Structure 1
Amino acid sequence: MANTYTYDAALVTLVVNGRFITGFAEGSMVEAEKDEDNFETKVSAQGDVGIAKRNNTLGTITVILMQGSPDVLYLNALANSGQMVPVWAQSNGENAEKVGGTQAMVKKPADVEFSDEISEREFEFQVFDYTVQGN
């Protein structure tokens, strides 16, 4: 029998420095990735394998908000301040996942576009102690 589960985007939360971020754009709300693989391998001419562990704990979390989100100004101010903050993204439904870290900074204020449609504001967090946790 096949495994099934239900995902609900309404159960996804993003918490930055204790503040729940709201007003996500349509489509991808939060993207997260580790900046480097956990190890690198080399194989000798005779087939011996060497493994070099990478101790890089950096990761990047990208957040996409609607321009009218009440948190655009907050994240722009945070970027301008250079303040280090915790950032955690979490899916709170079945197969819950949590990603982020206790030390992160917003790389820069969002690019701005004014149009005849609602545009998006994208923020990148550099997470210095990036981790991914399961249920």
Structure 2
Amino acid sequence: MANIELTGVDEILNKLQEIGANVGRLENKALKNAAEPVLEDSKANVPVRTGKLKKGLKITNVKKKEEIKYILVGVDKGDNSEIFYGKFIEFGTSKRSAHPFLQPAYEKNKNTIKEIIAETLKEGLK
């Protein structure tokens, strides 16, 4: 019977555990990084009257629903109840035509979002 001795297995197992522990933080970082261009373009295109809506545009913390992580760009309802009208500007009303600023920012940056997520994950897993 042949004897086989493996060296370095403990080191590999420790490295895998270390990577596993950091994956959640890395995913969160990738999502936040990817949301930045959407936020910037949204702020660049939002109509400004008082500046409150532009100032109120934010990136939320990472959320999780049914094992899917996501992030939102827009107005946080809790912090900025006085700028609830952002949805009326984005989608319009019966008396006011829509002036979208969030959807076009997302559409413009769809490919960039994917690239930023991939790049952040690659860098973090090196």
Task: From the two aligned structures, give the one with the greater helix fraction.
Answer: 2
**TM-score, structure 1 length as denominator?**
0.22
**TM-score, structure 2 length as denominator?**
0.23
Task: From the two aligned structures, give the one with the greater strand fraction.
Answer: 1
